[in-house]
Every structure is written in C-alpha cells, then in structure tokens.
Amino acid sequence: MEKMARVTTALGGNALTGRTMFCHLDAPANAISVCRDAAQVVVAGRNIFKIYSIEEDQFVEKLNLRVGRKPSLNFSCADVVWHQMDENLLATAATNGVVVTWNLGKPSRNKQDQLFTEHKRTVNKVCFHPTEVYMLLSGSQDGYMKCFDLRKKDSVSTFSGQSESVRDVQFSIRDYFTFAATFENGNVQLWDIRRPDRYERMFTAHNGPVFCCDWHPEDRGWLATGGRDKMVKVWDMNTTRAKEIYCVQTIASVARVKWRPECKHHIATCSMMVDHNIYVWDVRRPFIPSAMFEEHKDVTTGIVWRHLHDPYFLLSGSKDSTLYQHIFKDASQPIDRANPEGLCYSLYGDLAFAAKESLISSDSNRKPYIGDRRHPIFFKRKLDPTEQFEYISSSSALSVFETDMESGSMDWFVHTAKQYALAGRPLAELCDHNAKVAKGLDRNQVAQTWTMLRIIYSSLGTVSSANLNHSMGKGSATLPLMNSFNLKDIPSGLGSESRLDRSKGENRTENILMDSSSTLINNEDNEETEGSDVPADYLLGDVEADEDDLYMMDHENPHAEEQEYSLPQEAFPLRHEIVDNPSALDHLQDKADSPHVSGNEAETVSLTPVESFSLISISHSLYENRLPTDFFNPIVRDTLLFYAEQGDVQTAVSVLIVLGDRIRKEIDEQTQEHWYTSYIDLLQRFQLWNISNEVIKLSTCRAINCLNQASTTLHINCSNCKRPMSNRGWICDRCRQCASMCAVCHHVVKGLFVWCQGCSHGGHLQHIMKWLETSSHCPAGCGHLCWRARYRRSSAAPWSGPTPPSPTPSSCSGSPSPGRSSCAGSPTTRHSLFLRGQ
C-alpha cells in the first residue's frame, strides 16, 4: 500500500519522492512557505516559527527561529514567505505591524535581519519579488502597501489603497512592475511599482473581503481571487476590463488560493472557517472538487505546492498544530462518490436521462441529436484532449426519450389552469364550474369528481331543526328521489360505493376505488337512461330556510376560518364566503334536470322558493341522519391521493383549495405542501404566473403562503438617467425627475405601471400594450427592442402626488417570477424598495 502511495517525479534531474505524512507542531500555524529547492518548509504562527526539512518519510525540525526567553511580538507571525531566489532569505509579517526579514546565513542563533516598523496595524501579507532579490512588498490592515528595498533601512515607496485594509499582495509573474492587492471591501487593485501615487486599475471582485489572490504561473493574465463570500473567481486581466472567466462556489469563506503547477485549470483552496479540508478544483468544473484532502482537524491556514513544477505534492499547515504533506494519489476524489446519473422530465413528457457513457454504450439504437422531437436523441460530451488527468470518468451520455405528440400535449393542463375557478363563489358553483371545464376538455373523470364533490359537500351539513321537523312527516316520498339521483349521478366506482354506504348506513366496504376508466365508460352509458323517472316538478327551486342557513353559517364560522390565514387577503375574497352548506338543493335540481337539459348545463340555479318545500327538507334530513359530511372525507382524501399519484397534481390541488378546511385536516401538511410546490412549479414552467400566484395566495400551507413574502423587493432604474433609484419613491435623486412617466402619453402613471427591464422605460399598461401591437421598439425612442424583453407588469404607486399612496405587500407579491430572476442579477447595486412586512 505504501509503495503505491509513494510517488516519484522527474523534474529535470531533480526527483521528488515522498508520501502522505505529517508532523506535530507545538502551536497552531498561520502560514507556511517552501524553499526553492522543495526540501525545506518554514512554518510560522503566533507561537511558532520553525524550519522543517522534508525527508522521505518524515519532517525533521531543522531550525527554531523563535529564540529568546520572552519572544517579542515580532515573532508573532501572520504571514511568512521564503525567497524564491535566495534560499537564505525569509520575510515575516508580524501581527503588531512589523515586517521582519531573516537571514539564515547569519552565524548567530538569532537570524533576525531587518526590522521595518512602518505599518501602523497588523501586516497581513508579505511578498518577495519573483525575480528581484531585494524587493519586498507588504500589505497591512492600515490600508497601505509598502515596498522595501532590503538594502535600505526604510521603505522605498508607499501605496495607499484609499480603501480599507489590505488582505493580500502578489507580484505579477508576467509583468516585472505589476502587483495585485486585494482589500477588505471587496476590491482588487493593480499597481505599477514605479507609480505609488495611483493604482493602475481597480475592480470589485467580491462581496465582502477578498482574502487572497494568486497569479497564474503560466497563463499570465489570469488572477485567481478568493473571498469571504465563499467564491473563488478567476479573472482575465489581459483585456482592458478585468473579466471574470471562471467562478467556483465553495462551502466556506476562502482563505487561500494556489494554482496547481503544470495544470492550467487546477487550483487549490482552503477555507477560513468551519471547513477543514483542502480542495483542488478544476475551474472549468466548478461544482465538484476534483480532489480533496481531509487530513486536518482544524482550519487549514496555509497551503503551498512543494515544488514550482510538481503538481503532486502539496504542503499544508493548520490550526490543529500539524504540518502535512499531501500526495495527490492519496487524495479523495469526491467525483467517485457522486451520483453520475441524472433524470428529468420535460414539460411535455419527454424524459432525459444522463449517465456515464460506459453504462449506456450497449444501447444500440442511438441517434445523434437533430432537434427532431420524435426520436430518442443522444449526444456526448467531448473530451478535452489536453487534459489527461481526471476526465476519464467524466464523460457522460445524455439520452432523451420523447413521448408522442398527442399524449405529450399539455394543452389540457394550461386550459384547465386558466379556466378553473378556485375561490370567490359558493362551493357548489365552483364545483359546477370546474366540472364543466373538465368536461369541456374531455376529462370526464375529473368532471365527475367535481360533481361528486359538490354533492358530498354542498348537500350535506347542518340543517336547521325546523327543516328536520318538516321532514319527518313525508318520509316516504324521498326514496325514489334518492334512487334516481344515485343512479345517474354517481356512476364512478367511488360514487357507487358511497351509494352503497348510504343504503347500508355506516357499513363501508373495502374496495373504495374501482378502476376509473371503466367507470368512465359506465358513466357515458348511463347518461341517457338514468334518472328519467324523476318528475321534474319535484326538483325546482330552493328554500328560504336554506338561505337562512347560509347566512347563519357565515356568521358562526368566520373565526375558525380566519385564524388559519397568516396573511390578509387583499386581491381575492376571503374563503369563508364559500358557504359550507349553500342551498342544499341546487345540485339536486340540476342533476335531476339533466335528463332534459344534459348534465352540466343545468347550472342555472334558481334560489326562489317553490312549492316542494317539504320534500326537499326531507332529503336533507336523511343525509343528516345517516351521513355526516366528515363521513366522506376519507374517500375524498383517497381520491386526491389517487390523482396526485397519477400525476394530475392539478386536480388534487384545485380540489384542496376549493374544499379548503373541509378536507385539509385529512391530509398531512407535508403532502399538501408537496402538491402545492409541484403544481406551482408546473404552472411557472408554463409561464402561468398569475395563476401560480393565485394558488400561492389561496393555499393554506404556511410554507407556500410565505412564498409571496419572499423577495418582495423591486430594483428599479430611473428611466431618465438609467441609474439605480436610490430614493424611495418615484423621484430620481440624480435628475430630479419623476421616473414613472408614461413613455407614450408623457403623463405620470398612477396605478399599474409597466416597464421594460432592458431600457427602464414604461408607462400605462394600456398604452404600452397598444404601442407594442404595432411596434417592437421602445416608445420612448431609445431604440431598445422592448418587444423582446418581456414587458413586466407590476402595480406600482407613484409617489409623486401630494398624498403618496404607499405600496402594499400585496402589490408586490403580485409581481411575477420573471422579475424576480432578473432582479437577482445585481441585488446589491440597484435600488431596493424595501417593504418591511406588516
């Protein structure tokens, strides 16, 4: 095993051998640096400053530079660097702000050479010039960088970053005169060593401090930076503006970055806090580290490649007081543990499947991807011929299996989503409406479900005692009605089951769900014949008593209903307007009508009282006596579960919303949440933003409801000067003009304001809509092709008037998702209109 791990590399006659090994230090290390010949390493920390030689099998302590009885703070090192030209020369940065140089060639025990006490605060970093022997650079917490000539007593030049503390300084490898400095406020500056008055270039690299940077050893224009924002970024400095070319997201703030020698795209990182591992990333593959060293038990503070031209040996020091040599062969490769398969359904039922190529290669009927939706398609990632290292395992194949056009069509989904009514009317009406919608789309089973729901929930319920009394007398008349009713209206398995239940009282049988397809047919067959024996006269009309009930319920229940809401419902009527037992008879009426009028059109419910008063009450009381509403809940629940299982989460969620509290307690919160999220996700993928928003609003799940409360910030630019609005309200700070002018009519917009996210122009909804019918350019004449950038609609209240109306949370929660994603691009730089909660 050990032999396996032993590695030998030939580096122009200079061979490096070794294995993974470590040694205990006496104290936590803050930084390490390696000698040019790769045979020695220096470790520095608050209480340690030692040189170790790297032997074949172990580290051997060579020299303790921390001498004296009571070592001064000058020995408390924040950073250490070994000169790459002169192997006797070291420099340290002390926490008290002193820069010290050390000459190992000194005969005395104390090797301290020079002391520069020019910095006022802790020095974070020291750096030797790569080719110049006497040039040393330091960066300090006080915001200054200083360049020292080791032959002189004082600094040669001082560079003021004019911003906050300097965290890292690095000489460029390409340009003799250039160095990069990183700052606590997120900036990176490039300096010319000859010009201390002003930086050459500055850009903001990170959000928060930039802890480290490293120039690419070969590709000379590349600079890698690591920050507290957990990112490693690679910048191409060759262009006039620094361009971010790669970005790796790590899991903790990045303390050090070091390019891996001889590997163009590899970079090693370690973190400042929490995460103790060292990662080696391929920057082109930022999601998974290509190698990982997990030896340390506390934060790694220093990493360095052992030799300038050897990619296999990495040294690291840590707060856990150990010094490690890591060998690449022993690194763990997270990719081995990653799941290399991926599976995803498209909106239209296509299935994509990606897996390791080796697993799929047996598949014979592969076709190249040509964009035709009809065939399974396949394509393969090309290997980069220049990288032999870790890419063997990374080639994968993607297969796409398509469904045929008919069954893949999701038109029904879109139509249903658009047409369903979920709230705002009595339950019976909602059910009828939705049943009709379903029927119109040839979804008979769903239509039947809706109809049944109406029967179950809007016919049952509490009936006033007056009605009960009435019913007693004329019990005999009810039976025929019941029969006809059942025959015709509940032909599905579920329905017939419940009919059984009704006749048998509380006795329920096991098979609740019959095969739904068969019941569908059943239903069609029955349509013509059933129920014809019911005299139409019996069915007319409703009762005043029911109307009373209706209002009575309304007064009794609001509390119970209301406390379920976490939000005031502005845009939609409150759900408790859907009455628990609206006119118990109107379904009876239209069902029984159906022989004449055809099932679903019989919606025209007349609420006028008719003569058949007593009969109706009787049917009420019958239900009441035998079947409480709750009785059906398990069945309804199973129905919903069935639909959800089948993939029709739309029906499940719609029923859930329409029934509200009646069914909510039957289904556990998590399942509901899952349904909601799936449905909302689907809606959004079909770009049905308004509907998804309505669903969010109507949902009673806390987790779903609060989706509307997240990201309620709209960032806006002034339409005149194109700068972010820094003021709350609609007057731009800079140009002192109202930013909410309509680009078409040039009046101030109050109410719905639509604007283009591309050019910031906008105006009245109607005006803009009209304009865009004829032109695709911006009405303001700015030349922007607004038609392409989708106009976004949002209700915004301009504050320009004398009485500024404040935007309510609802106005913002109404903003659709596309806005959200576009805002996320530059959240920090643009104006935010904070709406702080309630």
Per CB under 8 A, residues contacting another protein are 46, 70, 72-74, 76, 78, 94-97, 117-122, 141, 184, 208-209, 211, 228, 252-253, 272-274, 276, 297-299, 320, 728, 806, 836-837
Cα separation, 150 vs 147, in Å, equals 9
Backbone torsion region of residue 722, taken as left when φ is above 0, otherwise alpha when ψ lies between -120 and 50, otherwise beta? left
94 versus 691: smaller Cβ distance to another protein: 94
Beta bridge partners of 166: 183
CB 733, min distance to another protein, A: 11
253 versus 290: smaller Cβ distance to another protein: 253
CB 96, min distance to another protein, A: 4
299 versus 778: smaller Cβ distance to another protein: 299
Decide: residue 374, CB within 10 A, 0-12 exposed, 13-18 middle, 19+ buried.
exposed
13 versus 837: smaller Cβ distance to another protein: 837
Q: At what angle do helices 427-440 and 649-659 cross, to 10 degrees?
A: 160
Backbone torsion region of residue 729, taken as left when φ is above 0, otherwise alpha when ψ lies between -120 and 50, otherwise beta? left
Is the separation of the CB atoms in 138 and 169 below 8 Å? yes
Q: Give the torsion sign (CA, 580, 582, 584, 585).
A: negative
208 versus 758: smaller Cβ distance to another protein: 208
CB 764, min distance to another protein, A: 28
775 versus 826: smaller Cβ distance to another protein: 826
Question: What element of type H or E holds 836?
Answer: none
* Identity of residue 455: I
CB 307, min distance to another protein, A: 29
Cα separation, 723 vs 730, in Å, equals 13
201 versus 820: smaller Cβ distance to another protein: 820
Q: Give the torsion sign (CA, 579, 582, 588, 589).
A: negative
CB 272, min distance to another protein, A: 5
SS (H, E, C) 85-96: CCCCEEEEEECC
Q: At what angle do helices 633-646 and 649-659 cross, to 10 degrees?
A: 150
**Radius of gyration of the chain, Cα coordinates, nearest whole angstrom:** 38
118 versus 554: smaller Cβ distance to another protein: 118
CB 126, min distance to another protein, A: 15
Residue of 460, 470, 476, 472 lying closest to 614 (CA atoms): 470
65 versus 754: smaller Cβ distance to another protein: 65
CB 184, min distance to another protein, A: 6
* Identity of residue 581: N
Decide: residue 800, CB within 10 A, 0-12 exposed, 13-18 middle, 19+ buried.
middle
DSSP string, 342-354: EEEE-TTS-EEEE
Question: Which residues, 6+ apart, have CB-to-CB distance to 603 below 8 Å?
Answer: 429, 432, 433, 436, 590
Cα separation, 666 vs 659, in Å, equals 11
139 versus 495: smaller Cβ distance to another protein: 139
What tokens were used for 63? 């020299």
Question: What element of type H or E holds 809?
Answer: helix 809-813
272 versus 704: smaller Cβ distance to another protein: 272
CB 170, min distance to another protein, A: 19
CB 728, min distance to another protein, A: 7
307 versus 715: smaller Cβ distance to another protein: 715
Decide: residue 793, CB within 10 A, 0-12 exposed, 13-18 middle, 19+ buried.
buried
CB 814, min distance to another protein, A: 21
Q: Strand 59-64 relative to strand 201-204: parallel, antiparallel, unpaired?
A: unpaired
208 versus 349: smaller Cβ distance to another protein: 208
CB 29, min distance to another protein, A: 12
CB 122, min distance to another protein, A: 5
Cα separation, 303 vs 189, in Å, equals 24
Is the separation of the CB atoms in 34 and 304 below 8 Å? yes
Query: Measured over all CA atoms, what is the biggest interatomic distance in the chain, rounded to whole angstroms?
Result: 122
Is the separation of the CB atoms in 444 and 525 below 8 Å? no
First to last CA, the chain: 65
CB 73, min distance to another protein, A: 5
365 versus 803: smaller Cβ distance to another protein: 803
214 versus 320: smaller Cβ distance to another protein: 320
CB 836, min distance to another protein, A: 4
Cα separation, 421 vs 419, in Å, equals 6
Cα separation, 446 vs 651, in Å, equals 7
CB 254, min distance to another protein, A: 10
Beta bridge partners of 303: 316
Length of the chain: 838
Is the separation of the CB atoms in 789 and 756 below 8 Å? yes
144 versus 420: smaller Cβ distance to another protein: 144
CB 234, min distance to another protein, A: 22
